[in-house]
Structure 1
Amino acid sequence: MAIMTALVLTLPAVSTTTAAQAQTQVTPDASSNAVITWDVHAQTAIYEVGRQSPTTATRSFAIVQGAVYDAVNAIAGTPYEPYLVAPRARRGDSTPAAVATAAYRVLLWLFPKQADSLRAQYRESLDAIPDGRAKRGGIAVGEATAEAMIDARRDDGAFSDAKWPVGTAPGQWRPTPPDHLQVGAWFATLKPFVVRDPGDYRSPGPPALAGRAYARALNEVKALGSATSTVRTPEQTEAATWWDDPRLVEWAIIRQLARTHRLSTLETARMFAMVDIAAADSLIACYKEKKRWRFWRPVTAIPLADEDGNPATDGDPSWAPLRITAPSAEYPSGHACFTTAVTTGLRTFFGRDDLSFSASSADSGTTRHYNSLSKALAELLEARVWAGVHYRFASIDGERLGAAVARDVLDQAFGPRDS
């Protein structure tokens, strides 16, 4: 109980004002640079309209931001290694036109049914740019980087009919309530964006069912993660809900950091690409491990704990988690892999951990504030237990995996050309 109290005391400050501004509808900030504006348009297409899952959205954001980065980098004279291409460009070419064109073209490819709304956003962006050679040049650069990205991702394995291995033995994953879905396994075989083979990254695996470590982890999430928990504090409940919002708070955090640090268009494009592509490859590696270990979720394991062969666990057929369990295997935690990759990318870009930021969640109705990347990540790892959707070991090992992949991505891509 002392440990739990200590965790509560170290949580960030929280504003409990209702978050109408919490991205129920996202709109571009008029003061934003073009990269931020089109990142907001991307979120609208990807989530607000397209309703892609957080995992699927990771691929989409990486595709958009990779194309945008190459366009901005080319017009700036290619000071950084291009992700895919560095099309011929002049210094005077319009960067806003290039950003809008690159983002629009790949979003149209991803979401052809949203053609009308995307075309309207694109027209609005171009109408704000004076006609002439600079505008035409920027459009041509954006067209070239979008074409390269579409060609690279056209047959990347997305949305295949891959299935999660289902078992009936203790410890084996099976579809989870309430909908018992069999979706998302294709991410495990998705073509990576940077790393050679996501299968090179391995996790140690879940603890043995009959051991003390497993019993300790199961009993922790059973007590803290229950929908009716009497030991989870209101603060922990709020944090668990905030981090579990499918409109990921990480999206808003990245944009806020770009604004508050007054990043240039080139800096913003590079930072977004670093973070989004590192996150995508980390999740691909994470999903490969999920498929390899195919370990059962707490929502399955706790009701069946009498059958796991561990005398220190007891089944509770009525147990349910605070938050709905995602339709993927338990180990390692995808959210831990993702958020670790995001924080690794931000730490690498800014060269520091002590960044201040905040974001709002419509699900929790609150805004949370942080003064370091590591503190935010530490809370996310706890929050997955408080939400009842992961064991602690799944989050810890997800953090290690996500960090390893993200570091390799950032070692191989987006660096200065003269390095």
Structure 2
Amino acid sequence: MTWIRIGVDVIADDHLTTLNNARVLAKLSTAIADSFISVWDTKYEYSFWRPITAIREAATDGNDDTEADASWSPLFGTPNHPSYSSAHSIQSGAAAAVLLGLVSDQAFCNTIGTDMRCFTGLAQAAQDAADSRLWGGIHWRFDNEAGLAAGGDIGRFALAQDAFNGVPEPASWALMIAGFGLAGAAMRRRALRVAFV
């Protein structure tokens, strides 16, 4: 997944501990997963038509100011699910919010297939991902704006959760249990000594 790869590249430059790297990636992947749950729920709640349908069937929209263009096609292949809101936008908004909250923003380049794109920072990359769907002709601008906004909220929600705090290592648990055992044994020995006096 593109944003996980971006996250791995970006955190590498921050020289975080292993635990903090794991925390960033856990919050990042959780926010992305939550954004997909949200967007699919939204898409099928509103069932809004794609540009290709709206443009080709404009004569049926009840608006006399629009004209149908039956030969219009987008630059990208149109997915066979509703338009609102944009999945690219919501996952990009969520990922950018998490990364901006946990690591240093920085310029970076990303390769998808044979194409390389360079960005001044994470927010620009998220906006570019959203805009690509508009430029490709498969989303409306409001799909992208709503997706970025919802994704940002989801990312900030993930940042606020404490579910990804460190878990003690097995050696720490063993030391704690041994300490309780020694403390219990000392208390028992003291209780026995007091009982015999």
Q: TM-score range by the shorter chain?
A: 0.7 to 0.9
1:370 to 112, 115, 119: 119
Number of residue equivalences: 166
2:108 corresponds in structure 1 to 357
- TM-score if structure 2 supplies the norm length? 0.77
Structure 2 spans left out of the alignment, 5+ residues = 167-197
Q: Which stretches of structure 1, 4 residues or more, deviate above 3 A after TM superposition?
A: 413-417
Q: Which amino acid aligns with 1:322?
A: L
1:317 to 51, 66, 70: 70
Structure 1 spans left out of the alignment, 5+ residues = 1-247
Corresponding residue SS for 1:253? helix
Q: Which amino acid aligns with 1:314?
A: E
2:6 corresponds in structure 1 to 253
- How far, CA to CA, are the matches of 2:42 and 2:108 in structure 1? 31
**Residues 356 and 372, structure 1, Cα contact 8 Å, conserved in 2:** yes
Alpha-carbon deviations, 1:225-264, whole Å to 9, x = none? xxxxxxxxxxxxxxxxxxxxxxx43232122112232333
Q: Which amino acid aligns with 1:270?
A: R
> Is it true that 1:384 corresponds to 2:137 in the alignment?
no
CA distance 1:269–1:378, shift in 2 (3 Å): same
- How far, CA to CA, are the matches of 1:267 and 1:415 in structure 2? 10
Q: Which is greater in Rg? A: 2
1:403 to 152, 155, 162: 152
Identity of aligned residues (%): 31
2:31 to 254, 272, 278: 278
Alpha-carbon deviations, 1:197-248, whole Å to 9, x = none? xxxxxxxxxxxxxxxxxxxxxxxxxxxxxxxxxxxxxxxxxxxxxxxxxxx4
2:19 to 260, 266, 285: 266
Correspondences of 1:159-170 after superposition (within 5 Å)? none
- How far, CA to CA, are the matches of 1:295 and 1:389 in structure 2? 12
Cα RMSD over matched residues?
A: 1.8
Q: Which amino acid aligns with 1:389?
A: I
- How far, CA to CA, are the matches of 2:65 and 2:102 in structure 1? 46
**Residues 51 and 137, structure 2, Cα contact 8 Å, conserved in 1:** yes
The alpha carbon displacement at 1:414 in A equals: 4.5
Alpha-carbon deviations, 1:368-400, whole Å to 9, x = none? 111211112222222111111100001101111
- TM-score if structure 1 supplies the norm length? 0.38
The alpha carbon displacement at 1:279 in A equals: 1.1
Alpha-carbon deviations, 1:329-375, whole Å to 9, x = none? 1101111111101101101112x5x322211121xx22111121111
